[in-house]
Amino acid sequence: MSQISEAAIRDVVTEVLTKLQQGTVGPVATPAVVKNPGHHGVFEDATSAATAAAGGFEQLQKKGWAARSKIIEIVKQMCADNADRWGQVEFEETKIGRLDHKIAKLHGIRNVLGTEFLNPHGMSGDAGITMEEFAPWGVIGSITPVTHSIPTIAGNIVNMVAAGNAIVFNPHPGGAACAALAIHEFNEAIKAEVGISNLICTVEKPTLDSFNDLCAAPEVGLLCITGGPAVVDAAMKTGKRAICAGPGNPPVVVDDCPGINFDKVARNIILGGGFDNNLLCIGEKQIFAVDQSYKKTVDAMVRNGAFLLNASQLETIKKEVFTFREDDGGCSHPVVNREFVGADAAKLARIAGLDIDPTTEMLIAETAEDDLFVIEEQMMPLLPITQATCFGEAIRMARDSEHGYKHSAMVHTMNVANMTEMGRAMDTTLYVKNGPCVAGLGMGGEGYISFSIATTTGEGITTPRTFTRFRRCALVDQLNIV
Ligand code: NAD
């Protein structure tokens, strides 16, 4: 049980005991409904949270840009200071991924863009001066995934508050308690240092109903969705503008050309695809190796710590980690068994009766291009590797496996023409060459980070500008002093 829930229950019990002592309730009375159980920004329902956040937005507007910058500073500092504790709390609640990487993601929040990214555009001429500026929406409804609960929330806060907004989160139920804990602590610090309350709100026990209530709340002008196909679909149907950071299934292609360091390729794939046990939406999920590079890549992966499964071990694992619908007819669709999403490589290997070193970061298996591990976004540190006869075929396979999500793709090649050809063919939001996927988010490559990459709706790696409305202000015939 979360700290928040325990404390909330304590509050209710205290209240009921007090009333009992005062004789205002009978001994079998049910506790009163608690709308906001005494925690900063944590609400029982989405409607109350949206109303409170509208109040938070008004307070922020009055305090101006200085308050926005201060809040961003607070959030970034708190993520760094609390990375170990919050990482642990999230790991214990979600039970997926790797603790060290949960902590690393929180440290990454320092690279999220803030107010510095909102430079206005000015024009001056014979007819006067005009300013184009980026205005807030007001209250944003944000849906966050279980794969990175606190990091997505923290990154959203930096981007969205920089743009002048308040936020209501409807987190994934599997990561809602750690979300409420961090949000409570953020609000507590913001209240103490800036004097604003309820700028960041959350629903304590999120459900599909609270999602619907949040989307329908009149205070909410914009939605930000970070998750899989179902939630993106649901958000698109609400009629509200939705920025959708949707699913992916990123391929990595290894070329067969001079100059490739296969040990470096292997280390890059293990780092990116093994990060947080493959929970990253940008993470390498299937490998296509061209001709002679196939064996070199497999050997290098094993040399660098990956464990190579044989065909029967792979089949045994596959039967366990994918489930099939009861009515297994012609159109039945495999579904990833949630129990193994983000599981350690050793746990997956145990399914096949293997007792491997628990520090193993990745399993690999030689497969055909239509294998379930290639087709499905399985989010497990088990990467299929498929041989292509030429670079063109590798691109075709990579493109098919990505399913047109336009999310992420990686390539290892020294051939610039091949890099270009694949970049054009994949048309993905992130395209990383000669590095791990995380280099596309500034970890080992140039650039900033966000945990909401708006692939489905095309805004890309979200920035403060993503969460603004364009406004133009024209003054006619005056102040054009040049
Ligand atoms: P998920 O889709 O199960 O859940 C995401 C959020 O949507 C949760 O808050 C969940 O409660 C909610 N949700 C799910 N179905 C819903 C529905 N029908 N109606 C309303 N709300 C619904 O995803 P997850 O397992 O938490 O995260 C993994 C998925 O998210 C993967 O597909 C991954 O690629 C994607 N993802 C994308 C990005 C990105 O930036 N593009 C970042 C992280 C994760």
Per-residue pLDDT tens over the stretch 50-97 = 999 999 999 999 999 999 999 999 999 999 999 999 999 999 999 999
Q: Percent of the chain at pLDDT above 70?
A: 90
On whether the CB atoms of residues 453 and 407 are closer than 8 A, the answer is yes
For the cut 60, the answer to whether the pLDDT of residue 30 exceeds it is no
| Rounded CA separation 451/100 (Å) | 17
361-393 residue pLDDT tens: 999 999 999 999 999 999 999 999 999 999 999
Distance 227 CA to ligand 1 centre (A): 2
Query: What pLDDT score was predicted for residue 333?
Result: 63
For the cut 90, the answer to whether the pLDDT of residue 229 exceeds it is yes
Query: What pLDDT score was predicted for residue 181?
Result: 97
For the cut 60, the answer to whether the pLDDT of residue 108 exceeds it is yes
Q: How confident is the model at residue 335 (pLDDT cuts 50, 70, 90)?
A: confident
Compute the chain's Rg from CA coordinates.
25
For the Cβ of 186 lying below 6 angstroms from any atom of ligand 1, the answer is no
Cross-strand pairs, 363 = 307, 382
| Rounded CA separation 144/225 (Å) | 7
For the cut 90, the answer to whether the pLDDT of residue 33 exceeds it is no
Query: What pLDDT score was predicted for residue 38?
Result: 58
Q: Is the model more confident about 326 or about 117?
A: 117
Query: What pLDDT score was predicted for residue 20?
Result: 31
Say if residue 7 is exposed, middle or buried (CB neighbours under 10 Å; 0-12, 13-18, 19+): middle
Q: Percent of the chain at pLDDT above 90?
A: 89
386-428 residue pLDDT tens: 999 999 999 999 999 999 999 999 999 999 999 999 999 999 9
φ and ψ of 457, to 5 deg: -100, 0
Distance 146 CA to ligand 1 centre (A): 7
Q: How confident is the model at residue 445 (pLDDT cuts 50, 70, 90)?
A: very high
Query: What pLDDT score was predicted for residue 334?
Result: 74
For the Cβ of 145 lying below 6 angstroms from any atom of ligand 1, the answer is yes
For the Cβ of 455 lying below 6 angstroms from any atom of ligand 1, the answer is yes
Query: Which of helix, strand or coil describes residue 286?
Result: strand
Distance 230 CA to ligand 1 centre (A): 7
For the Cβ of 457 lying below 6 angstroms from any atom of ligand 1, the answer is no
156-213 residue pLDDT tens: 999 999 999 999 999 999 999 999 999 999 999 999 999 999 999 999 999 999 999 9
Say if residue 64 is exposed, middle or buried (CB neighbours under 10 Å; 0-12, 13-18, 19+): exposed
Distance 145 CA to ligand 1 centre (A): 5
Mean local confidence (pLDDT), 286-303: 98
**Within 10 Å of residue 354's Cβ, how many Cβ atoms?**
17
For the cut 50, the answer to whether the pLDDT of residue 7 exceeds it is no
Mean local confidence (pLDDT), 296-304: 98
SS3 content of the chain, % helix, strand, coil (to 5): 45, 20, 35
For the Cβ of 151 lying below 6 angstroms from any atom of ligand 1, the answer is no
Statement: the pTM of the whole predicted model exceeds 0.85: yes
Distance 333 CA to ligand 1 centre (A): 19
Query: What pLDDT score was predicted for residue 24?
Result: 36
122-149 residue pLDDT tens: 999 999 999 999 999 999 999 999 999 9
Query: Which of helix, strand or coil describes residue 49?
Result: helix
For the cut 90, the answer to whether the pLDDT of residue 10 exceeds it is no
Q: How many residues does the chain have?
A: 482
Distance 156 CA to ligand 1 centre (A): 15
Distance 477 CA to ligand 1 centre (A): 51
For the Cβ of 342 lying below 6 angstroms from any atom of ligand 1, the answer is no
What's the Cα-to-Cα distance from 225 to each of 57, 220, 230, 245, 454, rounded to whole Å?
Answer: 20, 13, 11, 6, 8
Query: What pLDDT score was predicted for residue 323?
Result: 85
For the Cβ of 285 lying below 6 angstroms from any atom of ligand 1, the answer is no
On whether the CB atoms of residues 116 and 73 are closer than 8 A, the answer is no
How high is the mean pLDDT of the chain?
A: 92
Q: Which range among 25-29, 181-185, 423-427, 448-452 shows the weakest confidence by mean pLDDT? A: 25-29
For the Cβ of 360 lying below 6 angstroms from any atom of ligand 1, the answer is no
